[in-house]
Every structure is written in structure tokens, then in C-alpha cells.
Amino acid sequence: MASKTIYVLNGPNLNLLGTREPEIYGTTTLADIEAATKARAQELGYAVEFRQSNAEGTLIDWVQEASAKGAGLIINPGAYTHTSIALFDALTAAKPPKIELHLSNIHAREAFRRHSMTAAAVDGVIMGLGAAGYRFALEALKSLIESRTAS
């Protein structure tokens, strides 16, 4: 039986949501996002493994775990978006459908944030929609999973 678990991985400083630069990231906490994500996933027929780490190596380990055990992967790499070749390599090797997610529009931010090193390793990118982006990412990922299963 195929896995019905979607991994939702969050990178550095996302544990500070709700208090960190609310004018950019909003006031919704990561715990609020986790609860809403799990509820929507259940409505869509999926379970969610929701995690956050400030450590690059831990995120890479989790991407590899998601590849081995998950139906799909949503990743908000945080600042590693712009710097991590190792995370790019892990995402490239991961087999399930993958979506990169950002709360803010990285193209409307500082110049160093406008390039994603990881985007080329995923199926799609959702950005600039705040916490609602997690819901949209789940819905898009469900569609990707189903289209691959039907093939």
C-alpha cells in the first residue's frame, strides 16, 4: 500500500513565526500552521509529518526520509533556499513530488533572497501567500501525487 503521508519540512528561524518580523511573515505561529496543515491534509485524505529544524543536515536527513517513506514533500527551506547546494542535492535525489514554499514573495525582498538554489529540484514553488500557502501547497501536492499514481 502506498504511503499517505506528506512531509512538511520547515527550515531555520521558522520556529520564531508569530514574533519574527510580523510585517513580513505575519503573526501566525508555526504551531498554528501545523494545526491547520494537519486538518486540511486529513480532509484531503493524507496524514502529515510536520517538522522544523535550524540545522541543515537535519533537514537533509528528513528529505531523505521523506523520499523513502512519504507520498510527497513540502519544504520551506528558509534561508537555506539561497545557500544550500547540499539541500538542492537531497531534493534532486528525492523521488516523491515536491513543492517549495515561502511565506513571503522572495522576489520582492532583498537582492540576496531573490534566487532560490533549491527551486530547480522541486516540482513547483508557492510564495508570497503567507500561512495560506501551506494549504495551497497541500492541494497542489495532492494533485501531483494523484497524477503520478494514475500514470
Least confident of 104-113, 118-127, 134-143: 104-113
Kindly name the residue from 46, 80, 102, 134 that is annotated as catalytic.
102
- Structural domains in the chain plus CATH codes: 5-115+125-139 (3.40.50.9100)
Active-site residue flag, 102: yes
H/E run at residue 41: helix 30-44
Report which DSSP code applies to 13: T
Q: How confident is the model at residue 140 (pLDDT cuts 50, 70, 90)?
A: very high
Output the pLDDT for position 23.
Answer: 82
Kindly name the residue from 25, 46, 80, 134 that is annotated as catalytic.
25
Q: Give the chain's mean pLDDT.
A: 93
In the predicted model, what is the mean pLDDT of residues 5-25?
92
pLDDT exceeds 60 at position 19: yes
124 burial type by CB count under 10 A (0-12 exposed, 13-18 middle, 19+ buried): middle
pLDDT exceeds 70 at position 1: no
In the predicted model, what is the mean pLDDT of residues 141-147?
96
Bin 143: left if φ > 0, else alpha if -120 < ψ < 50, else beta.
alpha
Q: Which of 30, 23, 31, 91 is nearest to 56 (CA)?
A: 91
Output the pLDDT for position 2.
Answer: 62
